[in-house]
Amino acid sequence: MKARYQYRFYPTDQQQKRLAQLFGCVRVVWNDALALCKASGK
């Protein structure tokens, strides 16, 4: 049996800005990696 947990996070304004910046960077890295995989045929 697997346990499952849910958490609610209420970030401050500064944390929201930092998270938005982090996820923007992650999105760029993911899209670049996906493009490389598609170009190499994998």
Contact 11, 19 (CB under 8 A): yes
Please state, in angstroms and rounded to a whole number, the distance separating the CA atoms of residues 38 and 29. 14
- Render pLDDT for 1-42 as a digit per residue (tens, 0 to 9): 788 999 999 999 999 999 999 999 999 999 999 999 999 986
From first CA to last CA, the distance across the chain in angstroms is 35
Q: Is the entire prediction scored with pTM above 0.75?
A: no
CA dihedral 14, 16, 19, 20 (to 10 degrees): -110
